[in-house]
Amino acid sequence: MTIDGFVAGPNGENDWVFLPGKQDSDALQKIVGFGVELATGCDTLLLGGKLAASGFCQYWENVADNQPENPWQPLARLIADHRKIAFSSSETPLAGRNLETENGDLGTVVQELKNKPGKDILVYGGVGFVRSLIDLNLIDEYYMIVNPVAIGNGQTIFSERKIMQLESSKAYSSGKIINKYVPVAG
C-alpha cells in the first residue's frame, strides 16, 4: 500500500512496490520472512479470479521450482504448495497447482471456510476481490505493508469507513512499515 492509501495505480500498476535504491537486502530478507511467517500459519489462500487468471500461480510456481537463488523462493514454495481457492464468476478453468475455482456466493463460501477446522486463511487479492471481502466484514486481521511512496491516484481496497485498532507496527530501513490492524466491532 502507498502512504496515500492505494494498493495499485489507476490501471493496476504496482511498479512502486520495489523502488530502486529503497530496498536493501536486509529489509528484503525481513519482508520475505514476514511473508513466510504468515504463509506458514495458514493452510488456504484465497484469490480473486482475475488475479488467478493473470498468472499469479504460474509465477510463484516458477520461482518455487526453478529459481533456488531467488530471495522470494521460500515464500514461493509455500504459495505453490498451499491449497488455493480462486473466486470467479466465470466457468473457465484456472491453471495452478492445488488451485480450485469457486463460483458460489462469496460471503457464504468464505464464512463456511472460516468455520471449518484448520489453520488461518490468507488472502492475496486482487483489489476488487479484497474490497468485496472487506465490504462483507470477512477480514479478521489486516497486515498492511506501507511503502514510502505516494502515487496520487489509484485503486483502494476500502469503499467505506472501517475503524481499526493497531496491534503492531514494524518499520524497516527501506522505509517500508508493516502494520497489523484488527477491525473494531460496532
Domains and CATH numbers, the chain: 25-140 (3.40.430.10)
Q: What is the pLDDT of residue 174?
A: 81
Mean pLDDT of 157-186: 92
Residue 37 CA from chain centroid, whole number: 13
Q: pLDDT band for position 89 (50/70/90)?
A: confident
What are 124's three cell numbers? Answer: 492475496
Helix (H) or strand (E) holding 57: helix 56-66
Q: What is the pLDDT of residue 21?
A: 59
* Strand ranges in the chain using DSSP code E only, listed in sequence order: 42-48, 83-87, 99-102, 120-125, 142-146, 164-171, 177-183
Q: pLDDT band for position 111 (50/70/90)?
A: very high
